[in-house]
Structures are given as structure tokens and as C-alpha cells.
Structure 1
Amino acid sequence: MGREDCCYNQAMSEAPFISAIVPTLNEESCIEECLERLELAGVEELIVVDGGSADRTRELARKRADKVLVEPGGVFSQMNRGAWEAEGEVFLFQYADGLLSEAACVEIREALETPGIVGGAFRLRLDRPGLFYRAVSFCADWRNRLGFGPFGDQSIFVRAEIFRGEGGFPPAGTLPDHELVRTLGRRGCFRLLREPVLVSARRWERCGKWRTLLRHWRLSALYLAGLRRSRGAIIRGTEGLRKVR
């Protein structure tokens, strides 16, 4: 798979087999609902990759998941491990504190019918009321449209052959999820779907709203600073990022 343009035209089956990979760490409060939603959405294979939970996450996951694996290397190592074990034609990377609608797999399959689409993600919606959280969701939409993102909490999906061909999520870096999207953008187009993923705002509440926002800005700044150190990287990166549509 050596082509690096927006012309990935390999035909898939009419209803491609979707494997959902769910990384977890102490998620007993939400893992069951997450997996139930994925089943209702039409996911054919559920793989939970646990990072070493001290609670009942693995026990609860086994009630619904096809495979429950253990991978202590961090969230992106967990998702890579799940992908290598998955059998689907499409990988859906779903965080345990996110909930997809029943139409999610329909939208994924419709998007992948378009020639050149290698993957995509869902719009971010936080589950708390209030102007601050609505503003975060609104800004996330525009950030994606401007070419920065999507990120892992937006339920990224990708054709399995493309993901494996690119080696999965980078093993290190400031934003491995965004780096994967940037890389995939050079292989084809990334589609931002209409349906949102409803994401828990618990981390914002626990760590503080403004502190969490500043942390996100800091990581983004570090990532962009790293790109600028490489000659021409910003130009090449932008070419890939602008294929989010």
C-alpha cells in the first residue's frame, strides 16, 4: 500500500466487519454501558484492552466483550494491541467514557462507501450542561475543520489494512492520536461524521475546567513546536490535516 494521495479506492464488502477496541483503566463505572452502546450500534467484535485495573473493569467487560486483554504500556499501546488481535475490516477506537448512538456504525459504513475515505471520527459533545462545556464542544468542531484533530476521545475509526500498513499509533510522542490522523491524511481523506460521541466531562470536573483546558493547549503547543523543528514538517503536516472533511 504505497499510495500517498486521496485515491484509496479499494472496494470493501457491502457491510464491512467493524471491530471496536476499548482501552480501559479502572473503568468499572462506565464500561458496561459503553459496551452495550457499541453492541446496539452494530459493532461485530468487542475487544477490551485493560491497562492493569485495580477495580472490576475486566470482570464486567467479560460479560459482553469477545476478548479482554491486558496491556500495561499506556492507552496507545493498548489500542495497538487490540488492533493486532482484531479480525475486522474497520477498527473503531472507543474510549470507555464515551457513548455512541445506535446510528454510529451506519454512519461509519456510509462514510467508507466513498472512494478515498480511509477513516474518520465523530463530533465531540461533553455530557455536562453549561456554557463552558458547550463552548468546548463548539471549539472542538472548528479545531477539527481547521485541521487540528480529531483526537482519541472522538471515536476514531480507520480501515484495518491502512492502520496496519502505517504501523498503528506511534509508540511515542506528544499527541500520538493526532499524529496518526496526520499520517492517515496523506493516504486518503478523513471524514468528520454528523453524529456526536457523548463524552464524560468527569476529567474536567476532577482536575478543574480551566486547568484541563490549559493542559490541552500546552500539549497542542508542544506538538506544534515539535513539528516546527523538522524542516518542512508544517507544510507536509498541513497537507494531510486539511483532508479532514
Structure 2
Amino acid sequence: MPRVSIVVPVLNEAAGIVAHLAALQPLRRRGHEVIVADGGSADGTAALAAGLSDAVVRAPRGRAAQMNAGAALARGEVLLFLHADTRLPEEADRLVLDGLAAGGRAWGRFDVSIDGRHPWLKAIAWCMNRRSRWTGIATGDQALFVRREAFEASGGFPDIPLMEDIAYSRILKSFGPPLCLAARVATSGRRWEKRGVLRTVLLMWRLRLAYFCGADPAHLARAYGYEPRQS
């Protein structure tokens, strides 16, 4: 039985999926598993992933639905949810398993660094990490991980088109505070640089504030530039 199941939600990631999954092969050789959850890619992502993962599952589009579908196939003691543009640190498996065991925690996340040229990205990552430690809320960029029994007891990710990571963190806090690992995952700064760093930061602050005030996640997804699937 694998000890850690890494679930990777993807949608049209053909340009980078081979390199992303190649970086996870040492973990597979150490007995862990990689499950790719494809949300209907039209660029051959699923076919490229097949030879570099233990399973590829088709799921309705949307990270929450895709991650839940991948988790349904997972056999590991711990489920780790990894975005396709995020890289794990060295010995991530040991850090997760030892950290959860030592602290008796049910879930956790890594600190994050953001790859990119803009000088503000380091400051944004620092703020993300500090905010997460203060609030106990993890973002998807931080590679959230959770014990299987806690995932099953919690019901998995709420199937909403945006803020599923924040919503799920709030649920998991009922199982105790997160394990906040200082080791850093590295995530791409492409969405900040594409839209403009300051503009993206202000947009995300506005959307999070609206979500905490009760706004409909589907409306927020459209404001973010993402058209939710029709239910």
C-alpha cells in the first residue's frame, strides 16, 4: 500500500505535464502513488500523463470535483493535492509523514515560493505564508495534505468553482490546526505576471473578502475569469 497518494488536477496542461510528473517519479519509486484527475483536457494531457502516473481519472471540470475524483481512487494513508504548476521540495514524503506523526495532526500544508521575475513575488509569497500561519487557512498553491480518515470524515472538497481550498481549510480546522511545514513548494508566477502583479493581488483580496461575506462562489469565479461548468 502506498503511504502517500499525490492527486494532481489538470486541465489542458500538455505543455508542462510531462516535466511535472517526471519530477514525481522518485516518489513513485519510494512506494507512493500519483493520480492525475483530468477535467476534460482537449490537448492530450491525459494521454501524456498515462505513462507517468499510477492512474488517470476523468472528472467533471473544476478542481474540487477533480480532486475528489482522484481521492476516490487513492490508496494512501495520506492524500496530497498538488497543482500542475507547483513543485514539491526534496523529501516531501518524509516531511509530511514525519510531521503528521510527530505532531499528531490530521492535515497540513507547505510554505510556498513563487517562481517569476517580478520583484514583488517574493513579498507576496511571504505574505501568503504568514497569513496561512495566522489564520490556519491553506491555499491550493501550498500543496494541502490530509490523512485519509480525516478526508473521508470531512466529506472532501466542497464542489464549488472557486475558493474550494479556503472552504476546505475551514472544514479541516474542526480536526485541529494545520501542520505548517517551513519547507517550500515552488509554484509558477504565471497568473500574477500575465494579469499584472498588483492587479491580481487586489483582485484576490476583493474576491476573498466577498467570499467571507457570503458571496456566491460561481459569481466570484466569473469575476476571476473562470466560467463555472453548468450543473
Scaled to the shorter chain, the TM-score interval is 0.7 to 0.9
Check the 8 A contact 2:36/2:70 in 1, yes or no.
yes
* Partner in structure 1 of residue 132 of structure 2: 144
* Partner in structure 1 of residue 74 of structure 2: 86
* Partner in structure 2 of residue 132 of structure 1: 120
Superposed CA RMSD? 1.9
* Partner in structure 1 of residue 62 of structure 2: 74
Note the C-alpha offset of 1:16.
6.8
* Partner in structure 2 of residue 243 of structure 1: none
* Partner in structure 2 of residue 119 of structure 1: 107
Give the one of 147, 165, 177 matched to 2:153: 165
When you count helix as a share of all residues, which structure comes out higher?
2
Check the 8 A contact 1:174/1:219 in 2, yes or no.
no
Alignment partner of 1:205 is 2:193: yes
Distance 1:173 1:226 in 2: 14
SS in 2 for 1:79: helix
Note the C-alpha offset of 1:23.
0.3
Q: Alignment identity in percent?
A: 39
Give the one of 101, 105, 118 matched to 2:93: 105
Distance 1:111 1:226 in 2: 34
Give the one of 167, 173, 177 matched to 1:185: 173
Give the one of 6, 10, 27 matched to 2:13: 27
Aligned length: 213
Structure 1 residues 29-51: Cα deviation after superposition (integer angstroms, max 9, x where no partner): 22122222223244611110111
Structure 1 residues 101-134: Cα deviation after superposition (integer angstroms, max 9, x where no partner): 2211110011111253001111111111342101
Distance 2:113 2:119 in 1: 12
Gaps of 5+ in 1: 1-14, 228-245
Check the 8 A contact 1:92/1:157 in 2, yes or no.
yes
Distance 1:50 1:173 in 2: 15
Gaps of 5+ in 2: 216-231
Seen in structure 2, the aligned counterparts of structure 1 residues 107 and 79 have a Cα distance that, compared at 3 Å, is same
Q: Which amino acid aligns with 1:26?
A: N
Distance 2:136 2:214 in 1: 14
Note the C-alpha offset of 1:208.
2.0
Note the C-alpha offset of 1:149.
2.4
* Partner in structure 1 of residue 24 of structure 2: 38
Distance 2:70 2:2 in 1: 18
Alignment partner of 1:223 is 2:211: yes
Structure 1 residues 129-170: Cα deviation after superposition (integer angstroms, max 9, x where no partner): 342101111111111122062111110000011101110001
- Bigger drift between 196-205 and 28-37 goes to 28-37
Distance 1:73 1:27 in 2: 13
Check the 8 A contact 1:174/1:222 in 2, yes or no.
no
Q: Which amino acid aligns with 1:200?
A: S
With the length of structure 1 as denominator, give the TM-score of the two structures: 0.81
- Bigger drift between 73-82 and 164-173 goes to 164-173
Check the 8 A contact 2:118/2:193 in 1, yes or no.
no
